[in-house]
Structure 1
Amino acid sequence: MAHSFESPGRSEVEFTTSELTGALGDSVTVLPLLVALAATTAVSLPHVLIGFGVFQIVWGLYYGMPLSVEPMKALIGLAIVGSLSYPELAAAGLLAGVVLLAVGSLGLVDRLQRIVGEPVIRGVQFAVALLLLEAAVGLSIANPAVALAGVAVVLALAAVGYRRSSVLVVLALGGVAAVLSVGVPTPRLPELAIFPAGAPTVSAAALEGTVAQLGMTLGNAAIATALLCGDLYDRDVSADSLSKSMGVTCLAAIPVGGVPMCHGSGGLAGKYAFGARTGGANVLLGVGYLALALVAAGALLAAFPMALLGVLLAVVALELGRAAFAPVDDGWALALVVGVGVVGLAVNVGVAFVLGAVCFWLLSREK
């Protein structure tokens, strides 16, 4: 039983062109979700970007590899579509941080993952994708012409092999449009404050969202990421160590205006695909986030075309939905039932997660 962080082994940090391009692999879903969250809630985007910048650097240097730092997608998705207020999101993130730190310290990650079952986790992931897609349609119909232009850009880039990068291009186009509308903001440091967007509020929705998020986090952000560390980088990093580092990240970042963050196998694979091989990619990306925080003014965000934001959310939703079913060889029907049940039947995500876990347990006993 481990009660402290394990040594991550060799520490590697390089600053090359490959590390710079690899850094982009982790921002494909991060930036669109953060912009959408800031546009639809009371969250302070500069504070959130600082949190991501700091912990990209911290974990890149600590692990010596391009470990991903991503938003907790279930909680962020629920906040974007209005199921969680920012105070509830903050409370859910703190609760998740406490649990992740505890189960990682006690060496319980693998055992909890076996109890829940992958199909249930994938079902929650699919449900969040559907909710994001619904929000994307609502934002896009406000200005169909702009939305269609954004879709055309995505399809054109996908046709020439840049599907993952297309969201960054659309995000950049929206940023240019915002700058042309309100001008370039004066760089300034955000004010340091405790819970700048509101004190945490523990509610039934926050508790239920935490339960659903923990299922995704233990499976994708801890266990799957630990396996990829070995497969892609030949590094022995345990799921329990990753669970502890995610717990520390949430507990440290949220009180100063951050949002729930985790590691993720998708971001790690994205960095590898774009060329990242060391923690240098994290340092470069972290510096980029910190620089962006200086100009992420509220006026610039308010001028961002909402129809383009809808296109970004649609692409993220499709990627999330595709990832939900790609790894499932068995139990896809249960994943589909959980996902559709949350959205189509208006079943709460936390309730659907618990019911799905019970069904998985009963089905497993019959085999």
Structure 2
Amino acid sequence: APTGVLFGFATFLIATGLFYGLPLPVQPMKAISAVILTGGLRPGEVAAAGMMIGVVLLVLGITGWIGRLARAIPQSVSVGLQLGLGILMAALGLKLILETPWIGFASLAALFLLQRIPQCPAAPIVIAAAALAEWATGNGIVLNGFAVSPSVPHLVIPSWPEVWRSFEVAVLPQLSLTLTNAVIVTASLARELFPSTGSVASERRLALSSGLANVLLCPFGAMPMCHGVGGLAAQFRFGARTGLAPIIFGTALLVPAVAFSDHAAALFALIPIACG
């Protein structure tokens, strides 16, 4: 349900910004998201997957085993993972641009130009301009029957068959990706981008915060979530330097989560996919 998903992201983002004081991202777990998008997971299975991965992360963080695992992985492997992820993100971005080329390439050009202006919030400006441009040309989404509809997250209790199936089709494919991209490589990049403060985002703390968030929030309909090296690099590139970035983003998601979650999908559809 939109309420649980948005509330989960909002809560984790705000907590991340307050705890770390860095522009660390919060994002859905990609392998699990892929299974969900193909219609392969029910709500109970999604909750079970998030809780199981959360427990694994908590165990690795509490015991310190995640630190040993990080030390066992050569720096060259971490850099290679960052490079590979960057190439994949660029390819995906190009594919999205080609959905509506004139908006996509215009948005890309505007980003390059606006980033030359000191302290200019390039990304929000481009997204707003692209949405207005699509609406002005008659291709945008029109909101009909929009109204405030307060709601709260509901508890999701998975059955044992759902627990077992989610372990097979979601947890096993996701776990290695989370440990590398969301914990080990993210901690490495944080230390590189923030030499004086980046050590606060250690492998152990990232594992603990991700684990705790999933164990507490997934039973209430949240998506399985983690940090991520791609999101950290992107936020840094667009000027984010403190925990205020995830706090602002989390607050922006909290409003639709509790006030009009029934219309959340329509609101997000206002953003053209070519500039997303």
TM bucket (normalised to shorter chain) is: 0.7 to 0.9
Deviations 1:314-349 (A, max 9, x none): x88xxxxxxxxxxxxxxxxxxxxxxxxxxxxxxxxx
CA contact (8 A) 1:72 1:217 kept: yes
The structural deviation recorded for 1:170 is 9.6
SS at match of 2:163: coil
Is the counterpart of residue 257 in structure 1 residue 221 in structure 2? yes
The structural deviation recorded for 1:253 is 0.9
The range that moved more, 246-255 or 263-272, is 263-272
Match of 2:142 among 176, 180, 197: 180
When residues 305 and 188 of structure 1 are mapped into structure 2, their CA distance, relative to the original with a 3 A threshold, is closer
SS at match of 2:142: helix
Is the counterpart of residue 297 in structure 1 residue 262 in structure 2? yes
SS at match of 1:275: coil
When residues 301 and 289 of structure 1 are mapped into structure 2, their CA distance, relative to the original with a 3 A threshold, is closer
CA contact (8 A) 1:93 1:254 kept: yes
Aligned to 1:71: 28
Letter in 2 for 1:182: N
Aligned to 2:150: 189
The structural deviation recorded for 1:46 is 2.5
SS at match of 1:88: helix
Aligned to 2:119: none
When residues 265 and 305 of structure 1 are mapped into structure 2, their CA distance, relative to the original with a 3 A threshold, is closer
CA contact (8 A) 1:56 1:282 kept: yes
The structural deviation recorded for 1:227 is 1.4
CA contact (8 A) 2:6 2:254 kept: yes
CA contact (8 A) 2:26 2:227 kept: yes
Q: Distance in 2 between matches of 1:174 and 1:105?
A: 50
The structural deviation recorded for 1:221 is 0.9
Is the counterpart of residue 270 in structure 1 residue 234 in structure 2? yes
Q: Distance in 1 between matches of 2:221 and 2:187?
A: 28
When residues 172 and 256 of structure 1 are mapped into structure 2, their CA distance, relative to the original with a 3 A threshold, is farther
Letter in 1 for 2:262: A
The structural deviation recorded for 1:251 is 0.8
Q: Distance in 2 between matches of 1:287 and 1:253?
A: 17
Is the counterpart of residue 231 in structure 1 residue 231 in structure 2? no
Letter in 2 for 1:68: P
Aligned to 1:339: none
Aligned to 2:182: 221
Match of 1:285 among 224, 249, 252: 249
Name the TM-score, length of structure 2 as normaliser: 0.73
Deviations 1:187-212 (A, max 9, x none): 232134212xx746223354342122
Letter in 1 for 2:142: L
When residues 212 and 149 of structure 1 are mapped into structure 2, their CA distance, relative to the original with a 3 A threshold, is closer
Is the counterpart of residue 55 in structure 1 residue 45 in structure 2? no
SS at match of 1:180: coil
Name the TM-score, length of structure 1 as normaliser: 0.56
The range that moved more, 235-244 or 288-297, is 288-297
Deviations 1:115-148 (A, max 9, x none): 8x959x96xx98xx79xx8xxx9xx9xxxxxx97
CA contact (8 A) 1:66 1:280 kept: yes
CA contact (8 A) 1:178 1:301 kept: no
Over the aligned positions, Cα root-mean-square deviation in angstroms equals 3.9
Letter in 2 for 1:202: V
Deviations 1:102-126 (A, max 9, x none): 11111112444658x959x96xx98
Q: Distance in 2 between matches of 1:252 and 1:172?
A: 35
The structural deviation recorded for 1:96 is 0.5
- Identity, in percent, stands at 33
CA contact (8 A) 2:150 2:261 kept: no
CA contact (8 A) 1:52 1:286 kept: yes
Q: Distance in 1 between matches of 2:44 and 2:228?
A: 24
Instruction: Name structure 2 gaps, 5 residues minimum.
Output: 114-121
Match of 1:243 among 207, 219, 229: 207
Letter in 2 for 1:297: D
Does 1 or 2 have the higher relative contact order (CA < 8 Å, sep 6+)?
2
When residues 118 and 91 of structure 1 are mapped into structure 2, their CA distance, relative to the original with a 3 A threshold, is farther
The structural deviation recorded for 1:181 is 4.5
